[in-house]
Structure 1
Amino acid sequence: MILLLLLFLSLPHALSLNQEGLYLLKAKEGLDDPFGALSSWKARDELPCNWKGIVCDSLNRINSVNLSSTGVAGPFPSFLCRLPFLSSIDLSNNSIDSSVAVDFGACQHIKSLNLSDNLLVGSIPASLSRISDLRELVLSGNNFSGEIPASFGEFRRLERLCLAGNLLDGTIPSFLGNISSLKVLELAYNLFRPSQLSPELGNLRNLEVLWISNSNLFGEIPASFGQLTLLTNLDLSSNQLNGSIPSSLSGLSRIVQIELYSNSLSGELPAGMSNWTRLLRLDASMNKLEGPIPEELCGLQLESLSLYQNRFEGFLPESIAGSKNLYELRLFDNRLRGRLPSELGKNSRLNTLDVSSNHFFGEIPANLCANGALEELLMIKNSFSGNIPASLEKCQTLRRVRLSYNQLSGEVPPEIWGLPHVYLLDLSVNSLSGHISNSISGAHNLSSLSISSNQFSGSLPSEIGSLRNLGEFSASQNKITGKIPQTFVHLSKLSSLILSNNELSGEVPAGIESLKQLNELRLANNKLSGNIPDGIGSLPVLNYLDLSANSLSGEIPFSLQNLKLNLLNLSYNRLSGDIPPLYAKKYFRDSFVGNPGLCGEIDGLCPGNGGTVNLEYSWILPSIFTLAGIVLIVGVVLFCWKYKNFKKNKKGMVISKWRSFHKLGFSEVDIVDCLNEDNVIGSGSAGKVYKVVFANGEAVAVKKLWGGSKKDTDSEKDGLENDRVDKDGFEIEVETLGKIRHKNIVRLWCCCNTGYCKLLVYEYMPNGSLGDMLHSSKGGLLDWPTRYKIALDAAEGLSYLHHDCVPPIVHRDVKSNNILLDGEFGARVADFGVAKVFQGVGKGEESMSVIVGSRGYIAPEYAYTLRVNEKSDIYSFGVVILELVTGRLPVDPEFGEKDLVKWVSASLDQKGGEHVIDPRLDCSFNEEIVRVLNVGLLCTNALPINRPPMRRVVKMLQEAGARNKPKTTAKKDGKLSPYYHEDASNHV
């Protein structure tokens, strides 16, 4: 009786849920739900209409299932196809995996299916075409491979087909031209075999968006594309298309954005572009186009015109000044000549003007900022002359001004010096005169000021010392007089101070040791007097010190031995006394010539007291004994080496091919003697790292690479999945670091090749790697200001590699373990064993034979395409930012099959930003931390084209750290369409 009663009580609950709800519970059973997104799906409910992600119609029938970004995982839930009234399924941005083995013929009522940004593999199901009413099919951002199913040509109502960002390796089929209902076709970023665009795609008369960038296309753009009269966005960028731009495209009267950059298009821009009355953006950069810019183009209401790195010649038409909606005008790196239109900017809200590297001459137009919107004025390397327009004094919106390498003259309008939002002011290499106005005190945002190679005179205003954001100040080769203001010692962010070749007098300011970020100090060819401040020796990152050709006196401070200098020049002063022992060597001779009072063991600097005979012959006897000792030592070493080799007990070491890249105070023997197990501070897949301390207290780090295939067990711990070969890695690192000079790149002092291993000698970093520090018990020592500084330092180092090295360098293994920390927690990018040198960052990709990098840091497209460019580094750096914000490892068992990027994205959607921030951080910084977190998320965007270049990353981090400044919204990728990209060349 009791059993019957219990059965009766439970029956209503078991039978209360309708059939559609039961289908959903069946679907739930096949899914992993690590974040509890489906916790509201309960059998006791009568209807599922209030469950998360479920939308019902007025009759309580399930119409839509939307579980986007909920973190669910597992195979596609086929039970959803049994819902008879379901019209929309959205499972995007999850971890739906395995191949889709579902007969979609059962999903007859589905109109929209979105499975983008998941982990689906295998072929695209051909049965999808059996969904006769399907209007939207979005499968982008997966790992689908093979061909596009031939059955797709049978779709009759499909309006949107998105297959971008997969591994499709066939060709773009002509039968897609049969889907006459298509409005959006996205096929970009696949592994298609090299093929031509099919003319049949011109049959898609309803098409509005065509995106086939980075798809191995070659040949000409079909003339039939001119039939796509409803097209608003055409993106065929980053292919190998050639030939001319078809004149038939002039018939695209509704076009808003055209992206043809990074191809091999030639010929002139087509006639008839005046029909593009809605065009806002045209980017045909990085092609082989020729001829003049048609006047009809200049009458369009463009927001952005990008035609750089082509071969355009001719004048810039006056009619361009009549473009009322002109927002950006970028024409740099061409052969344009003549004067700029005098009315340019008068009738438009011009925001950006970049005409650098052309042949323009005449005066700078006075109306460029007539409507108060100009932010960037870039006119480098032209022949502009006359005065800088006084009207620019009132342009409060200006942020970047670069007028260098022209023929400008006269005085700079006083208020230009103090524009409040300018962070870069470059007036170098002109004929400007006058003095620096005291109004410069208003330039609170100024970080770089360059006025070298002009005719400026007068004294340096003390107000410059109030510019707390100033990082670079270059005023060499002018006629500046007076003293260096004492206020300069307050410039805590100053990294470069270049005042050479002026008429400065007085002493080097006391207290210079407060400039902890100073990397370069050049004061040569002035009239400076007094002593060299002892505090210079305590500048932790000083690389370049040039005080030559002054009237400095007194002794050289022995504290200069603390510096790790790439350049030291104290020549032609009045210095006296002993040269510090570290520098008392013949290869430093040129650093001290012209100082009669100096003494040291350098020939020609300090004559001896014993006469000529003593000087000429006193060396003979010691040399004989030295030579005999060397012969004896060499004989003993050779005997021991051969004996040990014969016995095969222990491998010896023979030094060969010693190469130094800086002036050193130690030798190879000093290094080898200290390579014992007591000095090991780390090990990896290729060898070990030693700390070597010399007699003078100086320390270096020595990486010992094995010559064979020896692998350390730490390689598995470190998560390396690379093709690093010791020989190649050694040569790559030597060739890369041997040429690099930057404060945020680890310095390679020297290298040597032995019989059985290779040695790389670096500057020693007392605080080890960021990964070891952050993910150990010491992680609590890294407060938020320190972590922010580390992120910014590393970003500047990578930006230097990508944008300032010629040719550019892609690191390929950016991770927290390869970011080293000095004693002040300044960051250096290290380990260039798999770095790659490219002919031009942003100009293409290169396919690798094997994946290199570390788990959790590898960009999605790199893991399955083996294509590498600077975007791979940017993704990896984004992961490092997420590490700094969350304090978590990039791969953690807690994440399940996710990595840190997906964990952060899912957690943000479900819980908000505060739940991903490292609880060890002070919550008062949360607003700034979230801004930096957003930068990291931009860098880890699934599509490489949407990741900002490193120069932009540096700027965004700087803005994110400016807590008292108004928040700056970064330019969204979808400004005009989802495919807006950053300009490939940015004159920073």
Structure 2
Amino acid sequence: MPPPRLPSRPPSSQPSRLLLLSLLLLLSATTSLSLNQEGIALIHVKSSLTDPGGILSDWNPADDKPCSWTGITCNDSTTVTAVNLPSASLSGPFPTSLCRLPSLSIVSLSNNDLNSSIPATISACRNLTYLDLSENYFDGLLPSTLADIPNLVYVDLQYNSFSGEIPPSFGLFRRLETLLLTNNLYNGSIPVILTNVTTLKELSLAYNYFLPGPIPPQFGNLSNIEHLWLSSCGFVGTIPETFSRLQKLSNLELSYNSLTGPFPTVVFHLRSLYQLELYNNSLSGELPKKDWSKLPALRKIDVSVNSFTGTIPMDLCKLPLASLGLSDNNLHGPIPESLARSPNLYDLRLFDNSLTGPLPNDLGSNSPLQTLDVSFNKLFGELPTSLCEKGQLFDLVMIENSFSGELPASLGECKSLGRVRLSSNKFTGEVPGVIWGLPHVYLLDLADNFFSGNLSSAISGGFNLSSIIISRNTFSGSIPEEIGSLNNLVEFIASDNKLTGGIPETFFKLNHLGTLDLSKNDISGQIPEQIGSLKQLNELNLANNKFNGEIPDEIGNLPVLNYLDLSGNSFNGRIPSGLDNLMLNKLNLSNNHLSGPIPSVYAKEVYRGSFLGNPDLCGGFAHRCPQIVQSKTKHNLWLLRLIFVFSGIVLVIGVSWFIFKYRNIKNAKSESPLSISKWRSFHKLGFSEFEIIHRLSENNVIGSGASGKVYKAILSNGEMVAVKKLWERSVKTNITDSAQKDEFESEVETLGKIRHKNIVRLWCCCKSGNSRFLVYEYMPNGSLGDLLHSTKRRLLEWPLRFKIVLDAAEGLSYLHHDCVPPIVHRDVKSNNILLDEEYGARIADFGVAKFIELGKKGSESMSVVAGSRGYIAPEYAYTLRVTEKSDIYSFGVVILELVTGRKPIDQEFGEQDLATWVHTTVNQKGHEHVLDPELEYESKDQICRILDIGLLCISPLPMNRPSMRTVVNLLQEAAADGRLNTTMNKDGNSSPYYEEDSSDQASLV
């Protein structure tokens, strides 16, 4: 019997059956490959964050557990105990889903882009022991519930934007050993409540905005503290006696506060102290003579920039110190011999005191000395032969002492040397030939001594040399031909010696040479025509030598030359016409045998003394040229005979020309509603004022700012110019100071006298009614600021940025050092640095520039602050005293912009500006944390070095900022030397080191 047939299903039921089957299959697959609850929590974390780098791409929900995912650690292959995702470029709020992981003990999310505030619900992470959220963008108040996590041992919240006061609940931590709150925006009182956390081993509150006040004595309760970092916390007074209880303290940092009184002797109770930082306070009195032996662990001490007096304690120098900083005090007496016996000493800085006597005889023989700076003291005697015995000496700086004798030959074996400054001493004898050719030296300063002998041909080995300064010695012989192999040479200053011979032709291969000073020697011969190849030459001084022949016309082809002194020689012939191409700030051709007329270009008051002692010169400031008088007498009769013949022709031509010109002027005026009342040009022009005015339409506006609109004008000859039309309010200043010029007059007065490759050219200016116009060369690539802070930033690769910053520095250096009187720009910023078609940089916008009278030593009071927010030097804002140091601060900010790619004012800095943010970040975290990620890693060393130069420029104390001439030298040295030349600063970070120089104010040494 056949089996019964099952009834067939209607066709409409088939899809439902397939769907059910699919669900059953999916359920079966999910069951076999189900992600555990901890993995699901981490998937929620992933969904709450933005992950542009794909770091979390292997967090796969198809896995059964997350233990193999990036950044995840499990204890038994199933339970998540740690999430480590530092430097992963993650952004978004704090991922609260992490607290769903019941065994999570470690969270490290440092150096990301996390933002917003930390939620109070973080206390749900009950088993956390380690929390690192540093280097993010968290803001707002700290959550008081953080202290509710019972087992927290390590909390790092540095480098964020937390503000307000530290919650009182933070005094309730039970097991906390490390609390790092450096570099935030806390602005309340010093959190005394933290002293209740007696388990603390490391506490860092540095670089915040706490209210000024004394150091709370309650800090003495931190009986387990080992590292206490309280720099720049607003402390006044002295260290309380309660600190004597801190027997485990090894690192005490109180720099950049306002501590006063004598040296805090309570320090001698800190038997475990390894490093003591009291740099930059207001401590005074003598350093204690004894009790230093009570600190057997002390290796590093820096009490520089205070007002200590007395002698260097011998008891201190008996310790096995590694770093000793006593600079910028009022110490006197000798340097103790015992200091040289330390087996660890690598950094010795004693500059700017009144120390006397010789250096310790065996200094360097027992220790790996790297930095020795004893400049600006009263030291004498010969240099020890052992300074570089360990082969690590890099900085040898002894400016302005009374050292004598010959340089030890052992220095010639010191291959590690990079910077040698021995100027203003009493050294004698010949410089050992090997010293000239040291391979890493880039600054060799031997000026103002009694050195003799020849310049060695071994100089060819000094391929890193960028500055050679040997002036005011008794060097003799000729300049070696080998000097032409120094491709990085920027500065050769050899004035006031006894050099003979001629200028070697190899000199003219030095494409980067900017300064050549051979004055006051016995050099003879003619100036070779190849002088025209030195396109970077800014200063040429050959005065008081024995040069003869004619002055080569090729000097007029030097595009950036602004200082030319050929006086006191035997030059003859005419003044070459090529000099008409130059606009020299200083010209001196006096006391030669020149003849012929003085060029009309130089027949100005500023050049009155430039031609004295040349009796055969005529015209200008001299007597009338006799040949001109003779010519007139000879031809008078001829002119009288012909005048009637040509009078008719002249009359017809004159009338015709007048009618033609009148019609053109009338037509031009009819085309423009403006009429020109004044017109002044500073260069030979191929266009008229009416053509400029006619092309000012709103369609051609390329910029607008506080001073006026800027138009792009394409002239009939195809040339492009930029025309700035000043707002009337810029013309009619409301400043009552009668000496204050309006912006138009200031810019005309300034730019009209300048010709420099890194200063924008002012072609001409004109006035029309109440409107005033300035016509400049057109810069096709706009301003540095516009390019740097736009989507085109990636076009600015590091070599181009470096070129721009060096160009701009040379322009400012010209204003400060080569103009008479000096010019302070007062509004240096990236938007006032314009870029030509090859991205060459030129300083622009001199509307608030100021000539500084030399008699006022570079300082003058202003009626109002000029400049732009984020660029203004702090002392200028407070005192209205303008100096060249104000420009240097602003330029430092420009350097920071180029290195970081960030604007000077940005919301992410909170109440800080770029300068403050970079300074604090570098001091605490290092250079790499501020560098623009668009920059290539291969140039990191040089980028960091330029960053250090920027940090020098933004020093809070104007006297500590280098001069612009020094900045140029430092930049050129950075270009010449690929290595990062640094010394260790007080915080253990790398930074260049500088000192005050009597001739150059602040010089890197």
- Structure 2 CA distance for aligned equivalents of residues 869 and 159 of structure 1: 45
Structure 2: any 5+ residue segments left out of the alignment?
A: 1-16, 634-671, 732-739, 859-864, 878-885, 908-913, 922-928, 996-1002
Partner of 1:506: 525
Partner of 1:146: 164
1:539-688 equivalence runs, <5 A: 539-602=558-621, 604=623, 606=625, 677-678=695-696, 682-686=702-706, 687-688=708-709
Partner of 1:631: none
Letter in 2 for 1:383: S
- Structure 2 CA distance for aligned equivalents of residues 126 and 803 of structure 1: 56
Indicate whether 1:102 and 2:120 are aligned.
Answer: yes
Q: Which secondary structure does the structure 1 equivalent of 2:529 belong to?
A: coil
Letter in 2 for 1:3: L
Q: Which secondary structure does the structure 2 equivalent of 1:213 belong to?
A: coil
Q: Which of residues 102, 121, 136 in structure 1 aligns to 2:154?
A: 136
Partner of 2:639: none
Question: Cα deviation per residue 1:831-863 (whole Å; 9 max; x = unaligned)?
Answer: 57899999999xxxxxx9998259xx999xx9x
Partner of 2:8: none
* Greater shift in the superposed pair: 429-438 or 191-200: 429-438
Q: Which secondary structure does the structure 2 equivalent of 1:688 belong to?
A: strand
Q: Which secondary structure does the structure 2 equivalent of 1:541 belong to?
A: coil
Partner of 1:827: 841
Question: Cα deviation per residue 1:62-84 (whole Å; 9 max; x = unaligned)?
Answer: 11112222222222111111210
- Structure 1 CA distance for aligned equivalents of residues 62 and 434 of structure 2: 73
Indicate whether 1:471 and 2:490 are aligned.
Answer: yes
Partner of 1:121: 139
Question: Cα deviation per residue 1:24-74 (whole Å; 9 max; x = unaligned)?
Answer: 222233222333332222322211112222211124211111222222222
- Contact 1:519/1:743 (CA < 8 Å) preserved in 2? no
Question: Cα deviation per residue 1:918-947 (whole Å; 9 max; x = unaligned)?
Answer: 9xxxxxxx7854555666788999xx999x
Letter in 1 for 2:177: E
* Greater shift in the superposed pair: 147-156 or 315-324: 315-324
Q: 1:472 deviation in Å?
A: 0.7
Letter in 2 for 1:2: L
Partner of 1:852: 869
Q: 1:955 deviation in Å?
A: 8.6
- Structure 2 CA distance for aligned equivalents of residues 327 and 826 of structure 1: 41
Q: 1:193 deviation in Å?
A: 1.5
- Contact 2:519/2:543 (CA < 8 Å) preserved in 1? yes
Indicate whether 1:449 and 2:468 are aligned.
Answer: yes
Q: Which secondary structure does the structure 1 equivalent of 2:266 belong to?
A: helix
Partner of 2:24: 8
* Greater shift in the superposed pair: 288-297 or 696-705: 696-705
Partner of 2:218: 200
Question: Cα deviation per residue 1:535-575 (whole Å; 9 max; x = unaligned)?
Answer: 22222221211112211122333222332422122222222
- Structure 2 CA distance for aligned equivalents of residues 695 and 551 of structure 1: 48
Letter in 1 for 2:979: T
Alignment CA distance shift 1:401-1:47 (3 Å): same
Q: Which secondary structure does the structure 1 equivalent of 2:139 belong to?
A: strand
Q: Which of residues 110, 115, 132 in structure 2 aligns to 1:92?
A: 110
Q: Which secondary structure does the structure 2 equivalent of 1:503 belong to?
A: coil
Partner of 2:979: 968
Q: Which secondary structure does the structure 2 equivalent of 1:103 belong to?
A: helix
Q: 1:728 deviation in Å?
A: 10
- Structure 1 CA distance for aligned equivalents of residues 244 and 816 of structure 2: 38
- Contact 1:775/1:889 (CA < 8 Å) preserved in 2? no
Alignment CA distance shift 1:125-1:13 (3 Å): farther
Question: Cα deviation per residue 1:217-261 (whole Å; 9 max; x = unaligned)?
Answer: 222122322332222222211122212221121233333322221
Q: Which of residues 362, 366, 390 in structure 2 aligns to 1:347?
A: 366
Q: Which of residues 79, 87, 90 in structure 2 aligns to 1:69?
A: 87
Partner of 1:436: 455
Q: 1:373 deviation in Å?
A: 2.5
Question: Cα deviation per residue 1:366-410 (whole Å; 9 max; x = unaligned)?
Answer: 322233322221111112222222332322222211111112222
Q: 1:458 deviation in Å?
A: 1.9
Q: Which secondary structure does the structure 2 equivalent of 1:377 belong to?
A: strand
Partner of 1:628: none
* Greater shift in the superposed pair: 163-172 or 456-465: 456-465
Q: Which of residues 373, 385, 389 in structure 1 aligns to 2:404?
A: 385
Q: 1:141 deviation in Å?
A: 1.4
- Structure 1 CA distance for aligned equivalents of residues 355 and 753 of structure 2: 35
Q: Which secondary structure does the structure 1 equivalent of 2:475 belong to?
A: strand
1:767-916 equivalence runs, <5 A: 769-770=783-784, 788-794=802-808, 814-815=829-830, 817-821=831-835, 826-830=840-844, 852-853=869-870, 874=892, 876-881=894-899
* Greater shift in the superposed pair: 251-260 or 241-250: 251-260
- Structure 2 CA distance for aligned equivalents of residues 602 and 692 of structure 1: 40
Report how many residues are paired.
884
Q: Which of residues 708, 721, 729 in structure 2 aligns to 1:708?
A: 729
- Structure 1 CA distance for aligned equivalents of residues 380 and 905 of structure 2: 53
- Structure 2 CA distance for aligned equivalents of residues 176 and 766 of structure 1: 58
Q: 1:201 deviation in Å?
A: 0.9
Q: 1:10 deviation in Å?
A: 2.6
Question: Cα deviation per residue 1:735-757 (whole Å; 9 max; x = unaligned)?
Answer: 99999999767689999999967
- Structure 1 CA distance for aligned equivalents of residues 793 and 19 of structure 2: 59
- Structure 2 CA distance for aligned equivalents of residues 602 and 700 of structure 1: 36
Structure possessing the higher radius of gyration over alpha carbons: 2
Q: 1:417 deviation in Å?
A: 2.1
- Contact 1:883/1:889 (CA < 8 Å) preserved in 2? no
- Contact 1:14/1:43 (CA < 8 Å) preserved in 2? no
Alignment CA distance shift 1:703-1:527 (3 Å): farther
Partner of 1:290: 309
- Contact 1:118/1:141 (CA < 8 Å) preserved in 2? yes
Partner of 1:909: none
Q: 1:914 deviation in Å?
A: 15
- Contact 1:316/1:338 (CA < 8 Å) preserved in 2? yes
- Contact 1:121/1:144 (CA < 8 Å) preserved in 2? yes
**TM-score normalized by structure 2?**
0.76
- Structure 2 CA distance for aligned equivalents of residues 756 and 9 of structure 1: 86
- Structure 2 CA distance for aligned equivalents of residues 146 and 280 of structure 1: 37
- Structure 2 CA distance for aligned equivalents of residues 840 and 215 of structure 1: 35
Q: Which secondary structure does the structure 2 equivalent of 1:708 belong to?
A: helix
- Structure 2 CA distance for aligned equivalents of residues 279 and 812 of structure 1: 47
Q: CA RMSD in A?
A: 5.2
* Greater shift in the superposed pair: 159-168 or 766-775: 766-775
Partner of 2:636: none
- Contact 1:355/1:380 (CA < 8 Å) preserved in 2? yes
- Structure 1 CA distance for aligned equivalents of residues 805 and 962 of structure 2: 12
- Contact 1:811/1:873 (CA < 8 Å) preserved in 2? no
* Greater shift in the superposed pair: 65-74 or 869-878: 869-878
Letter in 2 for 1:345: G
Letter in 2 for 1:684: S
- Structure 1 CA distance for aligned equivalents of residues 851 and 135 of structure 2: 31
Q: 1:419 deviation in Å?
A: 2.2
Partner of 2:509: 490
Alignment CA distance shift 1:225-1:604 (3 Å): farther
Q: Which secondary structure does the structure 1 equivalent of 2:271 belong to?
A: coil
